[in-house]
Amino acid sequence: MPEVKAIWDANQPQDARRVIEWAYDFFEEVGDRGDGAYLNYIDPLLRDWKQKYYGGKLRPGCRKIKKAVDPKTSSNSSRGFHRSFQPDGGRPRDLGPLSVT
């Protein structure tokens, strides 16, 4: 899988959406040619992220272990498999998970 970073001048916040959407569209185009995603590089806009990050390894037993080890969800990763968040890939994109204006 490719890694795509969206970088813009912090003094030009109006560029954020344009740059992020370019990177998103680029990744969607080339990312579908691969299988999976790099788990340690969290992309909060990645569609079908559970399948791309965990593939066939995400089994009901994993959820059971997570609940037993961390019942209060103190390990609250934005890409933890207990999350229900699923970007729809539509436009305009919700950039809220990126904390971008």
Q: Which amino acid is at 98?
A: L
d(CA 20, CA 4): 10
Q: Is the whole-model pTM more than 0.85? A: no
Cis peptide before 92 (omega within 30 of 0): yes
Give the residue extent of every domain in the chain: 13-98
pLDDT at position 27, please?
Answer: 82
pLDDT digits (tens, 9 = 90+) for 23-77: 888 888 886 666 777 767 667 788 887 777 777 777 777 778 878 888 877 766 6
